[in-house]
Amino acid sequence: MTSLRRTAAVAGVLFLITHVTSVAARLLYVPVLGNPDYIAGSGPESLVVLAAFLDVLLAVAIVGTGVALYPVVRRQNEGIALGYVALRTLEAAVITAGVVALLALVTLRQDLPQAGPETLALGSALVAFNNWTFLVGPSFFCGTNTVLLAYLLYRSGLVPRFIAVLGLVGGPLVFASGAAQMFGLYEQVSVWAAVTALPVFAWEVCLAVYLIARGFRSPAVAALDAAQTPGDRVPA
């Protein structure tokens, strides 16, 4: 397997990891996010901690996709490629901030078994903080960086155009959906939110599977190499 083929496979695996960890984490968070009085209850804490760990893995994988793809896509446009890496990193940072909020909630629950009104209010605030990070990171930052990467892949032809088009459509949709949720048009967990997320979900899954199974398209790599100076060429 060539260096470039390994890069594509690593990026594809990281994209799949982001999906598995994000879905599993949200399911495990249900005891917290679905119960305003969780901080005063007796539900499981281990599931919340496991979910937080999965979200940490999610954040690492998100940054990893940017780092893995940057050496290749920068040949198309270095400025946009840097923007993609920066926004992926920012997305991961926002998600991590939400994780810390829920871990703080678990700590309060352990240290303050007799929760008063102030503690309940603080617990609700921490859950709300996590909900907002889940909106800002996966909607606004993910939507924007999706468009950047999809544009680079569309212009370069490194993957089939239909995959890139899914990203060009899905990115703005998930961004607009986040804005609609922010202004109260519908809830984060709703039919509309799920429908608008489908294109970006399809984009990431199709991209991941293609990169793992096929790698980058050889003619596109050759074209990018031809446009570079010898020292800047994509390693084979």
| DSSP, residue by residue, the chain | --HHHHHHHHHHHHHHHHHHHHHHHHHHTHHHHT-TTGGGS---SHHHHHHHHHHHHHHHHHHHHHHHHHHHHTTT-HHHHHHHHHHHHHHHHHHHHHHHHHHHHHHHHHH-SS--HHHHHHHHHHHHHHHHHHHIIIIIIHHHHHHHHHHHHHHHTSS-HHHHHHHHHHHHHHHHHHHHHHTTSS-SSSHHHHHHHHHHHHHHHHHHHHHHHT-S-HHHHHHHHHTS-GGGSPP-
Range of lowest pLDDT (1-5, 61-65, 115-119, 202-206) = 115-119
Total domains, the chain: 1
Which residues neighbour 7 within 8 Å (Cβ) at sequence distance 6 or greater? 68, 69, 71, 72
Residue 195 in this model has a pLDDT that exceeds 60: yes
Mean pLDDT of the chain: 90
Residue scoring higher pLDDT (228 or 55): 55
pLDDT for 149 beyond 80:
yes
Show the tokens assigned to 204: 């990431």
Q: State pTM to two decimals.
A: 0.91
Six token digits for residue 23: 């879905």
Tell whether the model's pLDDT for residue 78 goes beyond 90: yes
Q: Which range is least confidently modeled, 122-131, 181-190, 195-204, 226-235?
A: 226-235
| 26 falls within a domain | yes
90-146 pLDDT, tens digit per residue, is: 999 999 999 999 999 888 887 776 667 777 788 888 989 999 999 999 999 999 999
Answer for the pair 13, 68: CB distance below 8 angstroms, yes or no.
no
Asked whether residue 235 is domain-assigned, the answer is no
Q: Residue 17 domain-assigned?
A: yes
Q: What does the pLDDT read at residue 113?
A: 62
% pLDDT > 70, the chain = 92
Residue 163 lies in a domain: yes
Task: Provide the domain limits for residue 168.
Answer: 3-230
pLDDT for the residue 93: 98
Residue with the bigger pLDDT between 232 and 40: it is 40
- List phi, psi (to 5°) of 228: -105, 160
At residue 106, the pLDDT reads 87
pLDDT at 192 over 80: yes
Q: Is residue 53 part of a domain?
A: yes
| pLDDT at residue number 42 | 62
- Any domain includes 93: yes
For residue 236, being part of any structural domain is answered with no
Q: Report phi then psi at 34, rounded to 5.
A: -95, 5
Would the pLDDT of 182 be above 60? Answer: yes
Any domain includes 200? yes
- Examine the pLDDT at 53 and tell me if it is beyond 90: yes
CB 87 within 8 A of CB 23: no
